[in-house]
């Protein structure tokens, strides 16, 4: 059984004071919901303050990005070493990073490797653009993104490994979460249908099974992301292959986000 999972990606929104206020508004509501992993991903500058606020709660913290090196002359960048003290998760390969900041599959691959070896759990985002969907290239794009992002990451370790390291490394690969986020659905109010997302997520698990093993693919959590709200979340999480959601806009409204988490836990419990 895979534990359901909902993460809120606040993107470049909220000052530190606004972030603290938002956490205060959702803390009780989220805290009451069990049987689900709940993750908040605020901007970097709010991580320290929010980590303090979440101490003793069941809500986890994630970052929205990181550099693939652990330290060095990379002005303005944040390394996994700086994050791993306070964050459990890190969003990697978000379409906004790929499209506005030129992140290639190769860069995403380096980031996934460093995150895993640095003790962070990557939420790896993949998804096709509208023109790719319309050209019938969705599977080709997703297959390329998954295979490239996970290149060299095997149950035997990030670059292969000995038999004796197998168990530990299988644990490491199990720390990955994939978020299927069709780019045409992000921030547009035009979500995929539950059925559409389920078919695509089934395909994504198939790629992971091909790369690793069927058992690892079955353990892997795969989320849907793209215009998720408290009104449409049920359509997604009632599909057994969809383990939860990565939520952008709606995670900036406390009531909406708590509603999404609540509904997910409720449907998965049933």
Instruction: From 130-138, 161-169, 179-187, 204-212, give the range in contact with ligand PEP by CB under 6 A.
Output: 179-187
Residue 187 binding ligand PEP, by CB under 6 A: yes
Nearest-approach distance from CB 196 to ligand PEP, in angstroms: 15
x/- string (CB under 6 A) for ligand PEP, residues 74-113?
Answer: ----------------------------------------
**Of 157 and 249, which has the nearer Cβ to ligand PEP?**
249
Identify the CA nearest to 42 among candidates 57, 28, 61.
61
Q: Are 8 and 257 in contact (CB under 8 A)?
A: yes
> Following CA atoms 171, 173, 175, 178 in sequence, which dihedral angle do they give, to the nearest 10 degrees?
-160
Of residues 225 through 254, those in contact with ligand PEP by CB under 6 A are: 225-228, 246-250
**Binding residues with ligand PEP: total (CB under 6 A):** 13
Nearest-approach distance from CB 72 to ligand PEP, in angstroms: 29
Using Cβ positions, the residue closest to ligand PEP within the complex turns out to be 248
x/- string (CB under 6 A) for ligand PEP, residues 122-161?
Answer: ----------------------------------------
- Show contacts of 47-54: CB within 8 Å, 24+ apart: 47/83, 47/86, 47/87, 48/86, 49/16, 49/19, 49/20, 50/19, 50/20, 50/23, 51/86, 51/87, 53/20, 53/23, 53/24, 53/27, 54/23, 54/27
Nearest-approach distance from CB 14 to ligand PEP, in angstroms: 14
**From the candidates 37, 67, 94, 128, which is the catalytic residue?**
94
Helix (H, G, I), strand (E, B) or coil at 11: coil
Residue 186 binding ligand PEP, by CB under 6 A: yes
Catalytic site includes residue 181: yes
Exposure string (b/e) for 189-203, b if CB count within 10 Å is 16 or more? eebbebebbbebbeb
- For 56: left if phi > 0, alpha if psi spans -120 to 50, otherwise beta; the answer is left
Per CB under 6 A, residues contacting ligand PEP are 9, 181, 186-187, 225-228, 246-250
Active site members: 94, 181
């Amino acid at each position: 059984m895979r534990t359901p999972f909902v993460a809120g990606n606040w993107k470049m929104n909220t000052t530190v004071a606004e972030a603290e206020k938002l956490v205060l508004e959702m803390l009780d509501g989220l805290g009451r919901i069990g049987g689900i992993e709940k993750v908040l991903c605020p901007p970097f500058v709010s991580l320290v303050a929010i980590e303090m606020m979440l101490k003793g709660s069941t809500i986890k913290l994630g970052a929205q990005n990181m550099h693939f090196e652990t330290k060095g002359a990379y002005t303005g960048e944040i390394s996994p070493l700086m994050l791993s003290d306070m964050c459990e998760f890190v969003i990697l390969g978000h379409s906004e990073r790929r499209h506005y900041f030129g992140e290639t599959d190769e860069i995403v691959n380096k980031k996934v490797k460093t995150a895993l070896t640095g003790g962070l759990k990557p939420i790896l985002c993949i998804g096709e653009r509208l023109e790719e969907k319309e050209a019938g290239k969705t599977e080709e794009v997703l297959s390329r993104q998954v295979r490239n992002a996970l290149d060299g990451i095997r149950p035997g370790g990030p670059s292969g490994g000995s038999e004796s390291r197998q168990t530990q490394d299988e644990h490491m690969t199990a720390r990955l979460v994939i978020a299927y986020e069709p780019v045409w659905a992000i921030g547009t109010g035009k979500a995929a249908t539950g059925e559409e997302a389920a078919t695509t997520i089934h395909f994504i698990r198939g790629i992971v099974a091909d790369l690793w093993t069927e058992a690892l693919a079955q353990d892997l959590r795969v989320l849907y992301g793209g215009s998720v709200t408290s009104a449409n979340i049920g359509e997604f999480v009632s599909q057994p292959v969809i383990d939860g959601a990565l939520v952008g806009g709606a995670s900036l409204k406390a009531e909406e986000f708590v509603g999404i988490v609540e509904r997910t836990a409720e449907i998965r419990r049933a």
